[in-house]
Structure 1
Amino acid sequence: MGDTLRIGAHEAVTIRRSDPDCLELEARYEPHGSPPPAHFHPAHDERFEVVAGRLSVELGGINESYEAGAGFGIPRGTVHRMWNSGGAPAVVRWWSTPAMQAESWFRGLAALQRSAAAAGKARPDLLAFAAHAAGHRDTFRLVLGNSTLLGAVFVGCLGGIGRLLGRRPDPGVRGDG
């Protein structure tokens, strides 16, 4: 354990524990980040403790800000997203229970981020992201325009096209093809 994975332009996670019961991470959110896509986890719950800085969270359509020392939970099925809109780094402890395929999800995101960086792009290839997301429906579901159905159709269609075209994270990442 201890692998640090860059999962976005402003976010990295370090794996602290990974077993079937729990994926424990320490996440670092760089300053002046932007919200990721809204999403939910159909079969696992998340718990967070802010260690340093401030974390902006949209949870079930309500925006909150959590400072160091604060904790909060996100029950499975709850639409959310989080980012650091402040001027200093934010560090957060993060538990996903049960772990499901969350570690594989993050490793795939990191592979997509590396590929984007190598190509001089800020964001991963959309078809590769959709293919990865389609392979991790037990862990991650995208929400578009407040619609879980629209997110599922988007990921399903584009993910299928991405898989047909061979767009995926690094070989060996579960659910990428």
Structure 2
Amino acid sequence: MTIVYPHTIQNCLGETLTFLSVETSPEGDKVLVENQVSPNSGPPMHTHFRQDEELTVVSGKMGYQVLGQEAHYAQAGESVRFNRGIPHKFWNAGQTPLICRGWVQPANTIVYFLSAIYAAQNKSGSEKPEAFDAAYLMTRYASEYDMADIPTFVKKVIIPITYLIGRLLGKYKHFADAPAPLP
């Protein structure tokens, strides 16, 4: 799959994410990003197992939280770093759009994965991505990403069954160009 930068995605929840460019470095490709998040919106608690992420608030107020810790807030000019393997979330804690710039490193499959998640949310019209697409993405990229708010039973039983039914029904043809997951 070839991506032309800048590459912008939007979901039905008021989030716009622009992948600005990719910088090459010895530590791996770094994708530069800009987020625009509507008030009270933001990604749910999630984990990047193989990537670090840093966001700097350009305007607005960002709430952020690491799983098991209290919420914190960042204003314009302040940066927040989320280390790989640590469940975290952030949201617009203000009344005006939150705009952040930052990076994710190494880039790995983040552009594809988030583009597909946003598309699945748009398909369902809600925070929860369309079930078959979500099952495919959470199964294929389980070594890279996790959603902490999904109950263990759903992850271990419901998602694999949904994935299998989706395969049997031919629901995954639109994922033909999906990049290989990391081992």
TM-score, length of structure 1 as denominator length: 0.80
Q: Aligned letter for 2:61?
A: R
Q: Aligned letter for 1:52?
A: S
Change (3 A) 1:53 1:87: same
Matched residues in 1 for 2:78 and 2:17: separation?
Answer: 19
Q: Aligned letter for 2:126?
A: A
Matched residues in 2 for 1:12 and 1:170: separation?
Answer: 22
1:16 alignment partner, one of 12, 15, 20: 20
Residue 114 of structure 2 is aligned to residue 109 of structure 1: no
Q: Give the 3-state SS of the residue equivalent to 2:149 in structure 1.
A: coil
Aligned equivalent of 2:45: 38
Q: Aligned letter for 1:92?
A: C
Question: Does the aligned pair in 1 maintain the 2:50–2:144 contact within 8 Å?
Answer: yes
Aligned equivalent of 1:133: 138
Q: Aligned letter for 1:140?
A: Y
Matched residues in 2 for 1:108 and 1:37: separation?
Answer: 16
Q: Give the 3-state SS of the residue equivalent to 1:132 in structure 2.
A: helix
1:29 alignment partner, one of 37, 49, 70: 37
Residue 65 of structure 2 is aligned to residue 58 of structure 1: yes
Pair member with larger Rg? 2
Q: Give the 3-state SS of the residue equivalent to 2:34 in structure 1.
A: strand
Change (3 A) 1:56 1:160: farther
- Runs of 4+ aligned residues of structure 1 deviating over 3 Å after TM superposition are 149-152, 154-173
Matched residues in 2 for 1:127 and 1:107: separation?
Answer: 16
Shift of 1:27: 0.5
Shift of 1:86: 1.8
Count of matched residue positions in the alignment of Structure 1 and Structure 2: 169
* Aligned-CA RMSD value: 2.6
**Ranges in structure 1 where 5+ consecutive residues have no aligned partner:** none
Q: Output one character per residue of 1:73-102: Cα deviation in whole Å (capped at 9) or x when no partner.
A: 111100111111321100011211111100
Residue 98 of structure 2 is aligned to residue 90 of structure 1: yes
Q: Give the 3-state SS of the residue equivalent to 2:120 in structure 1.
A: helix
Change (3 A) 1:142 1:167: farther
Shift of 1:3: 2.0
TM-score, length of structure 2 as denominator length: 0.78
Q: Output one character per residue of 1:88-128: Cα deviation in whole Å (capped at 9) or x when no partner.
A: 10001121111110011122123223433xxxx33431232
Q: Give the 3-state SS of the residue equivalent to 1:46 in structure 2.
A: strand
Shift of 1:168: 4.7
Shift of 1:29: 0.4
